[in-house]
Amino acid sequence: MKQCTVSGAVTVLLPAVAWGMGTSPPTDSFSLLSSLFQMGAALVLVLGLILLVYYGATRLMHRVPALRPGSRYIRVIEVRPLEPRKSLILVEVGGEYLLLASSDGNLSLVKQVAMLEEGDIIEDSNVKLPFATVFKRFKSGSGAPEPPPRTV
């Protein structure tokens, strides 16, 4: 180990010793064409390795049942965070919808939700319209949406 360190220091500090006393370091003439060819070959090699790893990973995922994409029986429909470590999770298990609560490592069933049809889904009323749409409404004369009535 000590010998490797000494020889490395000699090579860095005394380049004439590294090349031999009577010889001079090789002089490389810069060639743009050879540099481009070398860079292209390296790029092809790296892209080939990436594709090979991708192919192997997808083959492995289809062989291992736990890693298969698209589970047939369990789907996470939606996750709504409430606080940093608390959230509500809507899960479909075998055609039934379950509302789960997740908090600090605990998972508990809140409610079994009746299955909703596609037309029964209630749209979110807090959806904000793009500014261009609101501006066009205001410009056309229909005006901005009226504020809700005040209750006292």
Answer whether residue 106 is part of any domain.
yes
Answer whether residue 144 is part of any domain.
no
Pairing of strands 96-103, 74-83: unpaired
Separation between Cα atoms, residue 90 and residue 96, nearest integer Å: 10
Answer whether residue 27 is part of any domain.
no
pLDDT at 113: 86
| Residue at token pair 């500014």 | 131
Domain residue limits at 44: 35-69
Answer whether residue 95 is part of any domain.
yes
Residues of the chain with pLDDT under 70: 1-29, 65-71, 115-129, 142-152
**pTM exceeding the 0.75 threshold for the entire prediction:** no
- For residues 87 and 108, membership in a common domain is answered with yes
